[in-house]
Copies of this chain bind each other. A is one copy, B any other.
Amino acid sequence: MTERRRITPVILSGGSGTRLWPLSRTERPKQLLSLTHVETMLQMTARRTTGAERFAAPVVVASAAHADAIEAQLHEAGIEPGTLILEPAARNTAPAIALAACAAEPDQMLLVMPSDHVIGDVAAFHAAIEKAVPLVEAGWLATFGIAPTSPETGYGYICRGEEIAAGVQRVARFVEKPDLATAESYLAQGCYSWNGGIFLFTAARYMAALDLHAPGIAAAAREAVASGRCEGGRLHPDPLAFGRSPSDSIDYAVMEKADRVAVVPVEMGWSDVGSWDALHELAVKDHDGNAHHGEVLAIDTSNCLIRSEGPLVAAIGVKDVIVIATRDAVLVMPRGDSQQVKRAVDQLKRSGHATLDRPC
């Protein structure tokens, strides 16, 4: 058996999503919360790619505001982190990944993963990674195409082209979030996957693609790392240099434009846990279809997601309702339309409401 090159997980923890308000807060975003299991989303993400034979210590790219919490959570999970790269500013995924690529050896394989997704079938994920490795070693950019289970309009899609290796296809094109009719046709056609935001490539190949398609990002990241400061396992890229980087996603900046982009289609019980509805779907439910967390008293209640981080929640005679209670905020809405939480968050943002920021 030939010795396998190790893959460095690059966990992107930059998000401060508000779709799970009032639980997620700027100071304690979704990836740092325990949502589907006792472990936090970050801990589960890091644990997913352990095993010294294949995986090196994970690099985490995050906001400085979360550095202590991230180190504490990885420590608690018994996972020794590699470098913790602290973004001086939020510049979306392409620059964040560029920081990790610049800090790595050129031929190092980087497995880029959001820090806040669920993967139910880790073995399937690992098998998909192995399918991609030979192409990645040959200089391809690889992505993982999630088998779609519904006509989701909230995800980007990947149109898969011809097979280029066993279980690997060339990306024909990336398509943006479709409308419902388009999403339904994608689902019917069978050659579309969801873009789950998971990527595998060498550091050198990613930087080369950036140099070609987004040179401003590449230059800013190189300078930010070169002029950065290392301290106790933390890399502080130079704020001025990184501040000059354009802000863009890896999809727009690189993947949609580059050649030699492969997709490994995979069914692995993936979810981005992007809404309270998604969490209800994932959760273990009682025989009335209720998912409860915390101190909940449910009477004549069915198909509800009721979650408390403190107060007792008593629900009587309610159906298909989401109730999320924290010490300082309570959300009540019908199940099935929980993306609407954004409307509440937008209103609260206008007034700079404290429940958006401070942990609950």
Contact = CB atoms under 8 A, between A and B. Distances in A.
A332 interface: yes
Interface residues of A, number: 35
A347 interface: yes
B327 A323 contact: no
A299 B344 contact: yes
Given A347-B297, A347-B299, A311 B328 contact: yes
Contact of A340 (B299, B340, B347): B299
A311 B331 contact: no
A9 to B, nearest CB: 36
Contacts of A299: 340, 343-344, 347
Nearest to A318: B332
Nearest to A348: B297
A334 B334 CA distance: 12
Given A299-B343, A300-B340, A311-B326, 11 more contacts: A297-B348, A299-B340, A299-B347, A311-B325, A311-B330, A312-B348, A315-B332, A315-B333, A317-B333, A318-B332, A318-B333
Interface of A: 22, 297, 299-300, 308, 310-318, 321, 323, 325-334, 337, 340-341, 343-344, 347-348, 353, 355
